[in-house]
Structure 1
Amino acid sequence: MNAESLKRKGYYAVLWLTSLLFFAPVAWIVMSSFKTRNDILAVPPKLIFSPTFDNYLDLLDRNTSFVLQFANSVVLSLSAVVIAVVVSFLAAFCFSRFKPKGTNFLMFILLSIRMLPAPAVILPVYLMYANFGWKDSHIALILFYAMFSIPFSVWILKGFLDGVSVRFDETGLVNGGSWLHVIFRVVLPQLKPGLIAAFIFNMIFVWNEFLFNFIVGGVSTQNIPYALAVGTYSDGGLNWTFIATLTTIYIIPPIVFIYLFQKYLLAGMTFGTVRGEV
């Protein structure tokens, strides 16, 4: 075995070890969802046990709001992110192609919105929603999540648009196409990686959002993070079976999305800079 082969195997061993280290908490919570309460609290921890589905049945039987909360998470996330991606694409096209004065400063201001911690803006947002009667409204909450998702999406999509040559625009216009034709029929199909990356990044943000849903939302807009927060304690202690079961169900959609579209996430994290002009 030569040095190069040994070095490569050591490199992969470190990667596997790191991956398993980060995956261990996820594996533990999934395993715990199939354990009884006594098995979860056993010392030393039980790695070999008799799996049970009672925790999942109890979740559906006792938590009558679970289906509504899960549906809210899906509806709020998908609706807000779709709106954000559509608006962000049009804004990014303007910044990339027409380059209005102060574009760099405007992009900085947009990204600065995401730098603000949520507790810093929750009070004015709550007062605004309360005065306008928007509390406990799906539409109002969707628009808020969309607004908060737009800045990051604009940054991602502008990076991809800068990599698409303006010759495509010019060719479409010269051949009699309108700007709408150029935007949606010529340029948009080339932004599939950027659109998917923006969608998934913002989907994860909205999917995991708790504070605004808890303060600005209400009974009809409760999502899964809300359910985890209010259902953590039961019978004078932590309800580990509830936490493990609900968490296991909750992480499935993001894992599926990330697995299916993982190749686009790398491009999204580099804001499209891995692409040259095409």
Structure 2
Amino acid sequence: MSRIREVAYYAGLWLIALIFFAPIAWIVMSSFKTRTDILAVPPKFLFSPTLENYEALFSRSEIFVQIGNSILLSLGAVIIAVVVSFLAAFCFSRFRPKGTDFLMFLLLSIRMLPGPAVILPVFLMYVGFGWKDSHLWLMLFYAMFSIPFSVWILKGFLDGVSTRFDETGRVNGGSWAHIIFKVVMPQVRPGLIAAFIFNLIFVWNEYLFNFIIGGVNTQNIPYALMVGTYADGGVAWTFIATMTSLYLVVPVVFIYLFQKYLLVGMTFGTVRGEV
């Protein structure tokens, strides 16, 4: 009886996973179809694959710029955010300045603001200071949005690291830089990776601010999907399917490689010892 229940349990899990994966599989399949096959009724599951859609996509000179912008903005913003967040979380965890709980609440509250609520003042500020359509300033904006959640994640991990490591390092003449980066940081590596992946997904998917405060020089893949949705008087289904399939590669690879750290990150370090 227990064996039947176990098989039914895993069969149910596989069924749920396949249901959630079906739309992604359909998009990837469509990227190898012709427009006629994509629009066929009933849908075609058996078809002759073609690479013409990918050839047409990479024949666009701007596509390499847009992919490069997505990679540059994502990696740059996330690296800045993780470094700043780690140092801030260390301060909150070890020194606990007055009002730490309120400051942590305030940080998370700022992160919960919806993008459309702040886009107008941000746009006016960027235009006024001449920061619009700049990789650096757009990168710093993404880093600012990524820092609050990262601080929460990393503080949970740092609270789980005993202060005895700090005390031992200080007694033996170690500097704070040595303690932070050589003693403590290796012990919270899962948290750093989790914060990196969460923020990478956010910046990789971001469209609104890139469209408003970015410009021709900073166009990313979501921007390309938006402007390329319609072509030749109709919906460009082949472009959408191909671009989306390419767009999924980076987050899928990172999530697959570091999936156990994402679980740890979602629990704010409470299961850190299981990694």
- Measured on the aligned residues, the alpha-carbon RMSD in Å equals 0.7
Pair 1:37 & 2:39 matched = no
The match for 2:250 is 253
The match for 2:46 is 48
The match for 2:24 is 26
The match for 1:111 is 108
Per the TM alignment, residue 215 of structure 1 is displaced from its structure 2 partner at its CA by 0.3
The match for 2:173 is 176
How many Å separate the matches in 2 of 1:6 and 1:60?
Answer: 50
Following TM superposition, the consecutive aligned residue runs of length 4 or more in structure 1 with deviations greater than 4 angstroms are none
How many Å separate the matches in 2 of 1:10 and 1:114?
Answer: 41
How many Å separate the matches in 2 of 1:44 and 1:55?
Answer: 22
Per the TM alignment, residue 250 of structure 1 is displaced from its structure 2 partner at its CA by 0.6
How many Å separate the matches in 1 of 2:92 and 2:4?
Answer: 49
The match for 1:92 is 89
Q: Give the aligned residue type for 1:127.
A: L
How many Å separate the matches in 2 of 1:106 and 1:171?
Answer: 29
Percentage of pairs with the same residue:
75
The match for 1:124 is 121
Out of 134, 140, 147, the residue aligned to residue 137 of structure 2 is: 140
- Structural mapping, 1:151-190, within 5 Å: 151-190=148-187
Per the TM alignment, residue 230 of structure 1 is displaced from its structure 2 partner at its CA by 0.6
Per the TM alignment, residue 168 of structure 1 is displaced from its structure 2 partner at its CA by 0.7
Aligned length: 273
Per the TM alignment, residue 69 of structure 1 is displaced from its structure 2 partner at its CA by 0.2
Q: Give the aligned residue type for 2:165.
A: F
TM-score (norm. length: structure 2) = 0.98
How many Å separate the matches in 2 of 1:237 and 1:119?
Answer: 29
Pair 1:81 & 2:81 matched = no
Q: Deviations over 1:108-161 (max 9, x none)?
A: 100011211100000000000000000000000000000000000000000000
- Structural mapping, 1:178-217, within 5 Å: 178-217=175-214
Gaps of 5+ in 2: none
Per the TM alignment, residue 275 of structure 1 is displaced from its structure 2 partner at its CA by 3.3
How many Å separate the matches in 2 of 1:270 and 1:243?
Answer: 35
Q: Give the aligned residue type for 2:238.
A: T
Pair 1:224 & 2:210 matched = no
TM-score (norm. length: structure 1) = 0.97
